[in-house]
Structure 1
Amino acid sequence: MQRMGMVIGVKPEAIAEYRRLHATGSAEVNALLSACGVRNYSIYLREPENLLFGYWEYHGADWTADARRLDGEPAIRAWLGQTDPCQQPLASAGPGEWWSAMEEVFHLD
């Protein structure tokens, strides 16, 4: 199992919409994530800094392949078409980076 944490900005004017989208969610997207080994997935919002922190546990053998599979799924692409306009990459994000990966510096079971 691999723990993954990532962070991105959320546009202040889009917070209500982002909350609404996640309150109803997408059963199809959730099933696809589960099928690709994503478990224990949470997204946290930090205001007033307007940051989203995402955390999940990957229970698979090849995250690169599973991520590629997810990227090709029409339901995922449709979901991202709704959520991405609410978000904004960090100023420190690299070229083409949307959510910025974070380094795990501590864990307690």
Structure 2
Amino acid sequence: MKRYCLALDLIDDPKLIEAYEHWHKAGNGWPEIRENITRCGILDMQIYRSGNRLTMIMETLDDFTFEEQAKLMSANPKVQDWEKMMSGYQQPLPWAKPGEKWLVMDQIFQL
């Protein structure tokens, strides 16, 4: 199993942040999104928020790749609709390259 930690910012607007959290509460997300997440080899996914900064923790199968995840996501129109909707709440980190959203974080400490 592999673990990844990713970061992304939300647009710093309380109403948009509230709406983003609404879509991520149990029962509010689209079932096709959850299905796509697990189909690409993600075993567990958690998102945390502090202010407008998001941190995502993913545990995946050993053979998981972001390239394969991107292929599955781009081939699914419902996932594309979800991503388009979520983009209305999200903003890239200041150091992100054009078109990048969630950025993989480097682990710098482990106990």
TM-score normalised over the length of structure 2: 0.84
Flag structure 2 segments of 5+ consecutive residues without an equivalent.
none
Structure 1 equivalent of residue 55 of structure 2: 53
Aligned to 2:8: 8
In structure 2, the partner of 1:91 is 94
| Residue 66 of structure 1: how far off its partner (Å) | 3.2
Residues 4, 102 of structure 1: 8 Å contact kept: yes
Name the counterpart of 2:21.
19
Unmatched runs of 5 consecutive residues or more in structure 1:
none
Q: Secondary structure at the match of 2:58?
A: strand
Distance (Å, rounded) in 1 between the aligned partners of 2:110 and 2:71:
28
Alignment: residue pair count: 106
Instruction: String of CA shifts for 1:49-88, please: whole Å, max 9, x gaps.
Output: x101111012152512233112221121111111111000
Kindly state the Cα deviation for residue 94 of structure 1 after the two structures are TM-superposed.
2.0
Task: Determine which structure has the larger helix proportion and give its number.
Answer: 1
Question: Matched residue of 2:44: which SS?
Answer: strand
Between the two proteins, what is the percent identity of the paired residues?
27
In the alignment, which of 34, 39, 47 is matched to residue 38 of structure 2?
34
Which of structure 1's runs of 4+ aligned residues deviate more than 3 A?
A: none
2:83 to 62, 80, 100: 80
Per-residue CA deviations over 1:5-62 (Å, capped at 9, x if unaligned) read 1111111221011011112112111011111111210111102xx1011110121525
Contact 1:36–1:60 (CA<8 Å) still a contact in 2?
Answer: no
